[in-house]
Structure 1
Amino acid sequence: MKWTHWISALTLAVLLSACGGAKPFNETDHEEGEAHAAEEGHEEAPDRTTIAAKVAQDAGIRVAPAAAGIIADEHEVQGLLTPVEGRVAKVMARFPGPIRSLRANVGDRVRAGQPLATIESNLSLTTYTVPAPISGVVLARNASIGTVASESAALYEIADLSELWVDLHIFGADAQHITAGVPVRVTRLSDGLTAETTLERVLPGTATASQSTVARATIRNLDGLWRPGSAVKARVTVDQAPATLVVPVTALQTAEDQDVVYVQQGDTYRVRPVKLGRRDAERVEVLDGLKAGERVVVAQSFLVKADIEKSTVEEDH
């Protein structure tokens, strides 16, 4: 069990204890269960527990009705953010000569026409101003005051980063399924920031180093939170198919080697074995065992499982 799960389970146990404990069954069900077990000659495993609404809320247990939904055929790939081609400019001196002033540093935002440097021409011995050719952010400053600017060396490099390319590397058979026009959710690996976009094209060549196919999308970056060179992952949705009944994958647990969910009725949470069909990263199709509208635990379902299993241990002792 992950530490976060262990801590949450401990929190639930404390909350239940503070409320005097939650019975795994109501008294009538428990007596009927014991009588049935005696007749059959064996003990039935508990299939429910009772958790007060306030305790469930404090423990983070959340429910939602089972309903129709969409199952997506998705592929997860990785890639890098790069400046859009044609939106990067090098700031060059028109005539060689000593650099008398520099007016921008790396990271500064500049506008087209803004003066960036003053150079004294070796030809005329007069100074002239070098303006920014485009609006954007200064990516590099390659000059120092007092040095001599040449006609072949860039003083600055500026990029318009209001949009960035997302170059995704696709391997193997995935390249045959991913085509332009499909939805893409891009996630930055460093902090989980996400953006929704559409795949624009699959490049015809192959990346030499990785031998991957490169698929390209564009993301808006008006606030500058996305930066060139950042590693990203992307979920590419190739197809979407309707399903009569779906639940989040967070609702699923396993009990006695069966897939189960937990159905809420008031303060009672019952185990419900289910037959599953298709799934994607977020949802799973339910083929049998559940009806539309039934309220299913979709967050902290492992806490409900733990409380039911706890009652089994207590009965064994």
Structure 2
Amino acid sequence: MKPIHLISALALALSLAACGGESGGDDHADEAAGEHAAEESGEHAEAEAATGEHGGRLLQQDGYTVELAMAEDGAPPRFQAWLYEDGEPLPASSGKVEVRVTRLGGRTESYTLAPQEDGSLAAAKTVAEPHSFEVEVLASIGDEMLRWEYASYEGRTAITAATADKSGIKVQPAQPGVIADEHEVQGLLTPIEGRVAEATARFPGPIRSLKANVGDQVGAGQTLATIESNLSLSNYSVAAPISGVVTARSASVGGLAGEGMPLFEIADLSQLWVDLHIFGADAQHIQPGVPVEVTRMSDGKTVETVLERVLPGMATASQSTVARATVDNADGLWRPGSAVKARITVEQQPVELMVPLSALQTMGGEEVVFVRVGEVYQAQPVEVGQRDGQRVEILSGLTKGDQVVVEESYLIKADIEKSGASHAH
């Protein structure tokens, strides 16, 4: 086990540089070094503790020795101890040992070690990860009452609040929430059927004037063109049949209009259909009525709507099932024919505890999050459950309200790994 390693200015600079963070040059390094000088003055790495024949820490006092180890050879980790007097082994029955630990945040645990057939003393209770705590060992051997205290830290580092703020490290509490069964899909915007109309000539004759261009917003009844009738030799007007946007114009001044000839196409684009393409088995359990979040590719704007229907046929080109929703187009920036991406939420499952996916890291083959207490950050192994595109359920390892790093968690991981304190008993 190794003592806590305070993050150094160099380690922080290397972490930020390696991860593409902002570099402040020599001034930044000098400033960071100044922030840590007060912390590190008088602080020295604890010398490696002496180890016994079983690989445990040797605790010595008044001629007696307790060798304390964390036994975890293929079994859940437990405290295990051996007793010695003047360097000679003693029977396990010749003494008693109790281990008390204080974890980050002040939570305490007590372990009573009982004699075993192999000559050691061992605790019945297992020791939960992380094995990072203040340790107090109480032993009675014969008439002697012995006591030791030491720090045994792993996966832990300290960062000043000012440095954490500059590095963009942010925390939020672990809390209940909702995990969604979500499907990321793509689609196209199309005009709604019945909201596209043509302005046509009633009688043949030369076109005398055109009063709208493609892209113009027009109102129902507004005059769009004037045509001289070949029959009456008088002018008549062609009006917009609906309000909307002119999407096509197929006439020019001086040209001849035939009877029923389309002059303009007008579309009401105040709302648009979103046709979403769903592939394979996903189509079997996506039903109308579920929430849909649609994102515009051009600027990332997102709107929420509801899936209205799943069309019965298949899209011929892609062999996908088409699911349809409607979006409001008040700003006019949702354009027919544009590609969009969408998230369909099939089901929402409440969970007792969750954190953002950004909080999750892997260390030593385990999934961990980093819990902050004051200016100290601790790698906390967690058991995860369901997850969606943004959140992950925590089954064990955290309690409600734990302050978990949710942004720049990789900086904490890098600092712990560089210090060599990631996992060492």
How many angstroms apart in 1 are the aligned matches of 2:206 and 2:389? 60
Aligned to 1:284: 392
TM superposition score normalised by structure 2: 0.67
Aligned AA (2:270): S
How many angstroms apart in 1 are the aligned matches of 2:26 and 2:396? 32
Aligned to 2:156: 48
SS at match of 2:163: helix
Q: 1:113 Cα shift?
A: 1.0
CA RMSD of aligned residues (A): 2.9
Aligned to 2:49: 35
Q: 1:12 Cα shift?
A: 11
C-alpha contact (below 8 Å) 1:66/1:247 kept by paired residues: yes
Which of residues 22, 26, 31 in structure 2 aligns to 1:18?
31
How many angstroms apart in 1 are the aligned matches of 2:25 and 2:388? 30
C-alpha contact (below 8 Å) 2:276/2:324 kept by paired residues: yes
C-alpha contact (below 8 Å) 1:45/1:312 kept by paired residues: no
How many angstroms apart in 1 are the aligned matches of 2:397 and 2:222? 68
Aligned to 1:230: 338
Q: 1:46 Cα shift?
A: 4.5
Query: Which one has a bigger Cα radius of gyration?
Result: 2
Q: 1:153 Cα shift?
A: 2.7
Q: 1:303 Cα shift?
A: 1.6
Deviations 1:91-123 (A, max 9, x none): 111111111111111111111111111111111
- The residue correspondences of 1:156-235 to structure 2 (distance < 5 A) are 156-235=264-343
SS at match of 1:19: helix
How many angstroms apart in 2 are the aligned matches of 1:179 and 1:4? 47
Q: 1:27 Cα shift?
A: 9.3
How many angstroms apart in 2 are the aligned matches of 1:14 and 1:253? 31
Aligned to 2:380: 272
How many angstroms apart in 1 are the aligned matches of 2:374 and 2:166? 16
TM superposition score normalised by structure 1: 0.89
Q: Which has the higher contact order (CA 8 A, sep 6+)?
A: 1
Aligned to 2:129: none
Count of equivalent residues? 309
Identical counterparts, % of pairs: 60
Q: 1:4 to 1:145 in 2, by over 3 A?
A: farther
- The residue correspondences of 1:222-261 to structure 2 (distance < 5 A) are 222-261=330-369
The answer for unaligned runs of 5 or more in structure 2 is: 1-15, 58-68, 70-151
> Which one has the bigger helix percentage?
1
Aligned to 1:132: 240
1:120 maps onto 2:228 in alignment = yes
C-alpha contact (below 8 Å) 1:9/1:303 kept by paired residues: no
Q: 1:18 Cα shift?
A: 2.2
How many angstroms apart in 2 are the aligned matches of 1:90 and 1:132? 8
C-alpha contact (below 8 Å) 1:15/1:55 kept by paired residues: no
SS at match of 2:19: helix
Q: 1:190 Cα shift?
A: 3.2
Aligned to 2:87: none
Q: 1:6 Cα shift?
A: 2.2
How many angstroms apart in 1 are the aligned matches of 2:219 and 2:50? 81
C-alpha contact (below 8 Å) 1:8/1:303 kept by paired residues: no
The answer for unaligned runs of 5 or more in structure 1 is: none
SS at match of 2:49: helix
How many angstroms apart in 1 are the aligned matches of 2:241 and 2:17? 53
Q: 1:213 Cα shift?
A: 1.0
Aligned AA (2:366): Q
How many angstroms apart in 2 are the aligned matches of 1:12 and 1:216? 53
Aligned AA (2:49): A
Q: 1:306 Cα shift?
A: 1.8
